[in-house]
Amino acid sequence: MKIHKIVQRNLSEIEEKTIKHFRYYYDNKECFALIGDYVVVRLSDDHSDNLEKLKQETLDNISNLLNMPPDFRTYVMDDMFGLVEMNYGIYAVSPEKLSDEEIESGKVDIATALAVRASCLEACEAGNIIAINDEEL
């Protein structure tokens, strides 16, 4: 497992937490790019261990998402956080654990879902790759 830090600074606590979340969600078996606080792009196994191709795949997925209506699904994860899945492998985790009601019902509240979805869109519009988690499959 390798982290390629793309930005010329230390990763923030939130960015490191997001990487840990998605490593856990993907069982340490997937490549992904961190593109914002709580937001990642899942990458194909085909480009593992090729940083330039991983970067290009990330930018292509971001562009594809921004050129179509942003459909999404939500999930209550076993660590009690909410997950928003958008097209083209773009995901975001809620900044806080979900409420007891959301966890008990197994459904992410629409207000929470829309706020997390908005963070996905903001990160895509910014178009910055912060780091790439390369699992070297």
Dig out the tokens for 6 from the structure. 């793309």
136 or 63, higher pLDDT: 63
User: Above 50 in pLDDT, residue 124?
Assistant: yes
Residues 41-83 pLDDT 10s: 999 888 787 899 999 999 999 999 999 877 899 999 999 999 9
Residue 116 class from Cβ within 10 Å (0-12 exposed, 13-18 middle, 19+ buried)?
Answer: buried
How is the chain split into domains, by residue range? 2-134
Instruction: Supply the pLDDT for residue 22.
Output: 96
% of the chain with per-residue pLDDT over 70: 98
- Is the whole-model pTM more than 0.85? yes
Q: What pLDDT score does 137 carry?
A: 45
Q: How many CA atoms lie within 13 A of 29 on its CB side?
A: 3
pLDDT at 50: 87
pLDDT of residue 136: 58
